[in-house]
Amino acid sequence: MAIDVSSPAPTSFEPRHVSRRPSRWKPLLGVLVLPLFFLVALPAVYLGALHQPAPHDMRVAVIGSGTPAGNLATGLAAQVGDSFEVETLGTVEQARSALRHLEIRAAYDPATATVYVASAGSAAGANAAEQLFTKVAAQTDKTLTIEDVVPLPASDRIGVSLIFLGLAAVVAGFLTATVLNVAVPGLSIRRELGYLAGAAVAAAVIPMFTAYCVYGVFDSAILGTGALLAAICFVTGVFHAGGIRLIGPAMVMVTVFFTVILGVPASGAAVPRDMLPDFFDWLNPLLSTPAALDGLRRVLYFDGTGIGRNVVTLAMWALIGFGLLALSTLKSPKPEGAPGPFAGLTDDSETPLDPAAAKLKQRRVTAGVLVMPLFFVIVLPLSFIGALHSPTPYHLKVAVIGSGEPATTMIKAIEARAGDGLDVSRVDTVAEAQRKLKNLDLRGAYDPATGDLYLASAGGTQASATVTSVFTTVAQASKATVTTHDVAPLSAHDPLGTSLLYVGIGAILAGFTTGIVVSIAVPGLGTAGKLATLVVMSAVAAGVETLYGWVAFDAFDGQAGPAALMLFGLALVSGLLTIGGIRVIGPAMVLVSILVLILLGVPASGLVVPLDLTPPFYGIVHNVLPTASGLDGLRRIVYFDGHGIGGDVLTMALWALGGLGLLVLGHWRHDKGSDDAMHDAELLEDTAAAATAAAAAG
């Protein structure tokens, strides 16, 4: 009798069933580093740099060669301490030259009480210097006259358009290197450099077309601008590609940290470097992003003066990138079949055996993943420059306090002058005006009987400045003096009103990136596990951002509890939308989430520029986008006691329900046997590439 030994009978001490299901929690904890990185690092750096700008060592000058000018400069230097460096210049022409070379922020001529500035160098820096010399002129009973030697054009009123040109190029280089290394492993360095060169051309041409042709922001320095945009895209891509080849996925956080999280605030493009903390001023000449953005300012507005240092810095970072690429070639090759640095994110199980078919598949995958950087260079400048390049009143609501003929006459005069820019109404009492201001139903209210102007600067500093300008002009016509009353002022620790924006974005990115990593990096994680992880990470995000806003930077003004709930909601709805969408449509949802949550949601929130100073489109989408509503709700909680927050909460709740609905739809399709976007090999490759890159690009 033959004995079959191929399947030995189980013994009494050998278990029949041994579970070999791998734990999902260990890899989950690993990939959650990415959302934790964003919710901690980005708000901390941006708040630390930008929440309370103040002059330090800002260079200004007194014009004159005699003893009076010298005495004025000496006395002023003693008064201002470290805030300003005061020097003397002999003539007005010397002062103009120094301004055109960005050597000083302002120069004051005591003989004529004229201050010369160059607002194209920095509107905030020019304003700080103007305030200083306004006090000097007042001491001699003179009225200050301001002459802008290098003004900002009407098409770029606040001087931030160049930020979004440069940022689009930086993101394009970063994303191109990321998606190529994720989705096309084994790509040769020569071919990758070729793709990066192509991305550099696109990153120069497309944003310039948006700025020059679509919005008409700029009309000169085409070659210099294009060269700088192509350079920063290529430099960022080479640096990132070399790092990925050398250290793997961790390079995503390294590159984002240096180019975006540190690089943008240290550039001085939003707030000038002589109004930033010393650390960021020190970083400015060392990093590639500040070199590019400062170089763009010099090319666009100052005929390229002093750009040599910027070019050298970019060349140095290119050299570092090529050095990393060279070092990566010295690494020991991995054994055949060993997992690559992004193993688990891509699926090579269905790679064709036929070389021609394999090459065709690689081309298709490459073309597919390059949609991501192309999407950013198109949409990022289109959305942000469109909202911010030229804030202009559009149906901005103001009121005249009082009754009878004087109030009616003033309303007619303002309407005739402002056209569609202002919606002018009448209120009977000061109390009614203050109530409407606190409900954000008005931007300003003027009482012609007393000369009192009431506004709410927490609703938007640009809107308040517009209201002040309008009614100051009206008052001057009647020889009245305006007295301003701020019924909802910004915190002294948040004079620009941007702190809420940064903590809100931190929560949004935490939810969004958590949604991506639980959907892709741990594919076996069930729906309950994904939702539980998202809830926990949303709570962590709310806690961290509340600590920043309440404890570290004191921007929440006693409203920490309600603000934390709104931050939790922002993170939760961002994650639900992303998880549900990826479950249904796969890789396309990454782009949809970025568009809805960041590229449209942030400029349409009204926290960057008030909505009644932006084109009507942003006001329309504000009412339907979850992050726009959430950021607006955060401001209403902190500065307006929650007035009018019901609509914001309802919008966010509907989007959260929509995200849950997408999850249900995904389960239904899976149960019906339909193709699952998360289990199709090629779609998984695209999704993984987009996921890894998009988290940082947001």
For residues 657, 658, 662, 665, the Cα torsion angle rounded to the nearest 10 degrees is 80
Contacts of 333 (CB under 8 A, 6+ apart): none
Full 3-state SS string of 112-153:
CCEEEECCCCCHHHHHHHHHHHHHHHHHCCCCCEEEECCCCC
pLDDT at residue 674, rounded to an integer: 55
Full 3-state SS string of 157-220:
CCCCHHHHHHHHHHHHHHHHHHHHHHHCCCCCHHHHHHHHHHHHHHHHHHHHHHHHHHCCCCCC
Domain boundaries, the chain: 25-50+496-697, 58-151, 161-328+352-388, 396-486
Give the C-alpha separation, 547 to 361, whole Å: 48
String of b and e for 14-39 (b: at least 16 CB within 10 Å)? eeeeeeeeeeeeebbeebbebbbbbb
The one-letter amino acid code at 196 reads: L
pLDDT at residue 345, rounded to an integer: 47
Task: Indicate if 396-486 has the same CATH topology as 58-151.
Answer: yes
CATH code matching the domain that covers 396-486, chosen among 3.40.50, 3.90.1070, 1.10.3470, 1.10.3720 = 3.40.50
Of the chain, the end-to-end C-alpha distance in Å amounts to 72
The ranges of the chain with pLDDT < 70 are 1-27, 332-354, 356-363, 365, 523, 671-698
> Cβ-count burial of 186 within 10 angstroms (0-12 exposed, 13-18 middle, 19+ buried)?
exposed
Q: Check residue 113 and give left, alpha or beta (phi > 0: left; psi -120 to 50: alpha).
A: left
Query: Degrees (nearest 5) of the Cα angle 231, 279, 543?
Result: 100
String of b and e for 523-551 (b: at least 16 CB within 10 Å)? bebeeeebbebbbebbebbbebbbbbbbe
Helix and strand element counts for the chain (H, E): 26, 10
58-151: what CATH class?
alpha beta
Sheet of strand 396-401, all strands in order from the earlier edge strand to the far edge: 422-427, 396-401, 444-447, 452-455, 483-486
- In the DSSP assignment, the letter for residue 29 is H
Give the C-alpha separation, 302 to 95, whole Å: 15
Contacts of 476 (CB under 8 A, 6+ apart): none
Give the C-alpha separation, 136 to 143, whole Å: 10
Indicate the length of the chain as a whole number: 698
Kindly report the backbone phi and psi dihedral angles of residue 460, in degrees, each rounded to the nearest multiple of 5, phi listed first.
Answer: 145, 115
Contacts of 369 (CB under 8 A, 6+ apart): 179, 180, 182, 183, 184, 685, 686, 689, 690
Give the C-alpha separation, 171 to 533, whole Å: 28
Other C-beta atoms lying within 10 Å of the C-beta of residue 164: 25
Give the C-alpha separation, 549 to 544, whole Å: 9
pLDDT at residue 519, rounded to an integer: 86
Contacts of 119 (CB under 8 A, 6+ apart): 126, 148, 150, 151, 152, 159
pLDDT at residue 183, rounded to an integer: 78
